[in-house]
Each structure stands twice: as C-alpha cells, then as structure tokens.
Chains A and B, each alone.
Chain A
Amino acid sequence: MSDTRLAAARALATGIVHPGQETLLAGLEPGLWQVTPTSAGPVLALAGDLHLHAVELAGLPVARLSPTQAKTLLAVLIATGTGAAHPYPGAVATVDDVLTVLGGTAIGPQAAAHVKGALNKLHTWRLAQLGPPGGEEAVTADLGVPLRAGPAVALWSGPWVGELMALVGDLAEHRRPR
C-alpha cells in the first residue's frame, strides 16, 4: 500500500488533508484532483471543472437538498455575502442574521425551528460552519451562534457559481431598506 494512496484515501475519508501530506498529494493527477485551502484546513477534492452541475446531473443518483435546506443555504449566502464573486470565505454572520433574511419573527417559532434544523444539517455537510472561527467544540444552531460559509463551499467552481452569486446579489439588493 503506497503512502500517497493511503494519504489520499485518508484525506477523502476525513475531509481534510493531514499536516505534512500535501507534498505527497501533489503527485496526484492534477487534472483530476486538487488540494484546496479552506478554513478547516486543506481539502482534497475533484478538480473544479469536474464538478457536475445542471444538465450533467440529469439521470444521475445524487443527494439533493430539501426545499427548506436549499432556502436556508441561500439565506446563509446572503447573510455572509461580501459582494465578492465567490461566496467563500464570506463574512461571519449569526444564526439570527439567517433568520432575519428568511423573515425574522414573522416566520413563527415552528418555521424558525425548521431553519435551525436545516442549519445543523448544512453544518454536518460542511456547507455552513457554526460556531466561532477556529472553534473545535460541537455547536448547534441557536440564536447568537456565529456562522459562516462552510469549507465545502470553498470547493465550488464553474460558471454556475457566478449565476448563483448574481442571484444572491439581486436578493440582497432587494432586501436593502430604501
């Protein structure tokens, strides 16, 4: 079993490249694999232009976000948006900011609970990161908890990111008080 093979498998399994193994992983086919820096540390992932989107996903078994999870992720991108072309790393926001984007107190306690549940799942899937930057302890979505775009967002690439950020920009502009 080669060191590179095991280091790569370990990086894929843990979602993180262990310190000192970046040099080993640099030997992988660059057209297929890349090491991307994120707030959680370097991540080994498929090269950006291999990320499937739109029609390429048709007919494939893929994991899809539920409507509440998708809406909550969009709210996270709005709350953490900086106007940059890419949503990562974005600004630090709070769970309150996400709830405000989605309607604040008007959405009611039950809908707020669903949003918090969705944030916890987005945290599990590394699409959102709950807790203070660099914090190690487990944090669940609640009022006042800091939040930012998760390390998985750092891997997003392709034309669809531009389209998504245009939508995020439009929505943020629409929300701004006149």
Chain B
Amino acid sequence: MAKVLIENLYKIYPGEKGRPEKVAVDNANFEIQDREFMVLVGPSGCGKTTTLRMVAGLEEITRGAIYIDGKRINEIPPKDRDIAMVFQNYALYPHMSVYRNMAFGLELRGVPKEEIRRRVDSAARTLGLLEPDNLLERKPKALSGGQRQRVALGRAIVREPKAFLFDEPLSNLDAKMRVETRTEISRLHRQLASTMIYVTHDQTEAMTMADRIVVMRYGKIQQIAAPLDLYHQPANLFVAGFIGSPPMNFFKGMLTASRQGTLEFVERVPAGQSPFRAPLSTETSRRLSSRKDQEVILGLRPEHLHPNSLTSGASLEATVEVVEPMGAETFVYLRTGGHACICRTTQIELMDLEDKKLSLGLDLSRAVFFDSETEAAIPS
C-alpha cells in the first residue's frame, strides 16, 4: 500500500475560439496516508474527477506533481503506476466473460495462469461472485448493475495495486444497491487495508465511507478534514451547506449589543417583517466582539432547532410550510420573517401544523458564524 502526495497540482484546459482557458484544478495540495480512505467530494465541475484522472494517468498534468510512495509519477504511463480504477459505468469488456474481465490485466503482465486463477477465485469469493450462482463464465450483459459493479471491484482487487481509485462507482445503482455496495466497499477497505481514493458528488457517501474528505468547488480545495470535523467545524459557507442532509440553515443578520451587555444576533428581514433576536452567551459574545455592528451569517444545523423548547433564551417563531414524517424523525420546513429553514426533530406530534406558527429553541452552542463577505467561518 502507499502514500499519495498531490503537490501544487493544476489542470488547465486552453481556451478555444476566443474563449478563456478553463482551470479545472487550481493548486491542489494534499497527502493521502498509507491505507487511508480519502474521498474527494463536490458538485459537478468542481475538479474532483479531473484530479483522480491525473492520479490515474488518464489526464495530463499541466503543472505540479503527484507522488506515489515518494516516487514522482507525472510521466509514468497508467499501466506502470501500480493503481487500479473502478469506473462509474463499470467499463467491463462486453465481449469477455467475468473471469476474463478480471484476469485480463494479469494476463497482460505475464502473471502465470495458476496465480491468475488463484487471485480471481479469491476475489470472486470475497465479492460473492461464486455463490449462490457462479458468475465467472457469464458475460457482463447477463449481470445486474450490482453484479457488474462487483466484477469491476474484483478486476481492481486482483491487481493488488498500491492504490485503488474509484470514480463515482455507485452513481448508476439504485438506492438499495447503493447502500449495499457502499458497505461492501467499506468492508473491503478494512479487509484489504489499502489506500483508496474515492470520488463522489454524494455527501452521504463521503460522510459514511471516508477517513478524511477533500471538499472541492470550482477547482479549488475548500477544506480537508475528517467527516465529523467537516460537519461540526466547516471552514466556510459552501462546506457548511454542502455537507449534511438536510443542509445547514443560514440566517443573515447583524450582531448588535444587547441590554445585558452581551451580543445579540438580529435577523435581517424585509421591510414590514419582524426579525427574530437571539442573544449570544458571554463566551460567544467575547469571541465575536470584533464583529459588533457587522453583518454576519448564522449557521445552525436542523437538529439544533428544537420545536416548542427554549434553550439559552434563544428562540424564534416561524410559520410551518411543510411537515415530512420520515419515520424515525420528522423534517419541518418553516419560514421566519426573512428566511426559510428546516428543523429536524424526533417529536411526532407536529403533524397538521402546516400554516401554523411554531416556536423553535436555538442551540447556539452549536452555531457557526460566517463572515458575510468572505463566507469564511469565524474562528471559535
């Protein structure tokens, strides 16, 4: 297994027909530790797949370098980088059997037939391709989507590479198969103790599978952290809104002095609406004292809004728009004087509250404040 180092990496596509050049990856720098499961996540066009393809050798590197185990691989062709890749569309060879698909790369490397048979059988057993039905002689068109993805995984496993690369492998699967395959990949990671680089646009996959996550946007890295660190301490508004489902609530407002001498957050509302006011604790007021009389953005996760309860004296009243019972919990969509927000609660007696007013207690100890201009999180 291996460390992977991405150093000052750029991918720039030259402009054509008068259009400006496109910077797909903008100065990416990060290191993936040996045996780590690193997820690159972000919306479409953020540069995550381009970064992965540069590691694989499928895209040329414009500037910067990539090292695997200390060895610079920029000029090394994909087949010699000792990596294996699992594609979004499986990329199985339609005219070859499952066995041949898995064995093909080993055949090209001159691995002896007995060794190929041993590796393929072992991977097939691990991935359930032998029981209940032996799928090894089938062609890909005779397999379901989930089976095809497992064959693609098997093709990567038999290579025994230094690093596994995954390019949105679950995107083409239905919801149930996605959950099953997700846990399968996590189990494989523990079993193989291998370095894995995984690209996805789905923040749920990122949160559940990663040791660490790289959040990307417009080619730039926004934050690199463990899943829960990203969740509780996002570096900026984008990360805060992207990670977590339902997304974090954002309220624009002003920090003003309260009568008690601490600071108070006053919601910004259109003319004629009444803002909610949320007094901050002494500690928080001291931390944000330099921001007095300035615009900030208050971020609160849906689970930190509590219906019909008062926490630390901070509360707001909002109109219920939609109630979504999910079974174990309920999502309540509300509107304040100036903002829409979501509350996540286990209280079930909230049915039939559409168009009615609801008081929400705000757990400001879990709040994150953002600079309204730079959108960066204000350090705590």
A and B are partners in one complex rather than unrelated chains: no
Q: Which residues of B does A touch, CB under 8 Å?
A: none
